[in-house]
């Protein structure tokens, strides 16, 4: 059975974000096909997608390589997130479905329970799922795609810092969900902006403590 290119793309992207494929590393179709147990065709399609997303670049005489973003590019991503996540939340308040609300409320309930008991990696997964669902609820494929790419790239360059206060972070998720459920676009936008600012501040503090995953961070 032919493995779809989007599944291969997700696998390669996840490995890039996790640092399995380091920045500047060559990505040959043959090696990747062997690693992921697929033919070279879906790998080739996946690399084209990842190049369009900015995770991969094609270099003369080298072929496909993991991109090496600059520190300025990394900083720009945080600024973009500050602008776009509040927009996504406001749109979600206008366009969300009951199915979206059911998932968001379930994630908030789980997140709040795990935040009290201590969740670690599970909390990070729940938070990612929450933001993915919130982006999908905005009713714009273009905006939700951009938001997903921003989250992936920021995780790649900055890592994923644990919130200083997980209980507070999930209280913010709950408040955003309540505003979205009420259709209150202004409050949803404002709460999402505050949440994005807190997360952005954590990324910037993390960046001060260790080199970013950018070309400027190489020795």
Burial class of residue 196 (count of CB atoms within 10 Å of its CB; 0-12, 13-18, 19+):
buried
Q: Quote the CA–CA distance of 84 and 200 in Å, as a whole number.
A: 13
3 state DSSP class of 114: helix
> CA–CA distance from 198 to each of 133, 156, 165, 212 (Å)?
20, 19, 11, 19
- Total domains in the chain come to 2
Q: Quote the CA–CA distance of 137 and 174 in Å, as a whole number.
A: 15
Same-domain pairing of 76 and 169: yes
Which tens digits make up the pLDDT trace of 140-199? 999 999 999 999 999 998 887 778 889 999 999 999 999 999 999 999 999 999 999 999
CATH code of residue 193: 1.20.120.530
Phi, psi of 23 (to 5 degrees): -60, 140
Which tens digits make up the pLDDT trace of 121-142? 788 899 999 999 999 999 999 9
Same-domain pairing of 56 and 94: no
Q: What distance, in Å, lies between the first and last C-alpha atoms of the chain?
A: 44
* Domain region containing 41: 5-66
Neighbour tally for 122: CB within 10 Å: 13
Alpha helix segments (H runs only) across 54-120:
71-95, 98-117
Same-domain pairing of 162 and 188: yes
Same-domain pairing of 23 and 80: no
Which of 17, 49, 66 is a domain's end point? 66
CATH code of residue 13: 1.10.10.10
Same-domain pairing of 51 and 83: no
Same-domain pairing of 25 and 114: no
Same-domain pairing of 42 and 145: no
Alpha helix segments (H runs only) across 159-211:
166-182, 185-209
Mean pLDDT of the chain: 91
Same-domain pairing of 41 and 92: no
Give the global pTM.
Answer: 0.85
Same-domain pairing of 153 and 103: yes
Same-domain pairing of 29 and 127: no
Question: What pLDDT, on the 0 to 100 scale, is given for residue 109?
Answer: 97
Same-domain pairing of 50 and 82: no
Q: Quote the CA–CA distance of 15 and 137 in Å, as a whole number.
A: 27
Same-domain pairing of 98 and 139: yes
């Amino acid at each position: 059975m032919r493995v779809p290119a989007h599944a291969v793309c997700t696998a390669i992207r996840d490995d890039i974000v996790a640092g399995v494929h380091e920045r500047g590393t060559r990505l040959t179709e043959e090696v990747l096909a062997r690693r992921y147990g697929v033919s070279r065709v879906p790998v080739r399609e996946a690399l084209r997608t990842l190049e369009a997303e900015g995770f991969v670049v094609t270099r003369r005489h080298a072929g496909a390589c993991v991109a090496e973003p600059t520190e300025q590019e990394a900083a720009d991503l945080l600024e973009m997130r500050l602008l776009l996540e509040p927009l996504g939340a406001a749109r979600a308040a206008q366009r969300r479905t009951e199915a979206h609300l059911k998932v968001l409320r379930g994630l908030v309930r789980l997140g709040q329970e795990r935040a009290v008991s201590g969740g670690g990696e599970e909390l990070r997964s729940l938070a990612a799922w929450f933001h993915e669902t919130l982006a999908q609820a905005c009713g714009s494929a273009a905006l939700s795609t951009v938001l997903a790419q921003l989250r992936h790239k920021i995780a790649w360059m900055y890592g994923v810092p644990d919130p200083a206060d997980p209980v507070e972070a999930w209280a913010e998720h709950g408040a955003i969900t309540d505003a979205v459920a009420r259709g209150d676009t202004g409050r949803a936008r404002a709460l999402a902006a505050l949440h994005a600012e807190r997360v952005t501040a954590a990324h910037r503090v993390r960046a001060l403590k260790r080199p970013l995953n950018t070309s400027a961070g190489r020795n």
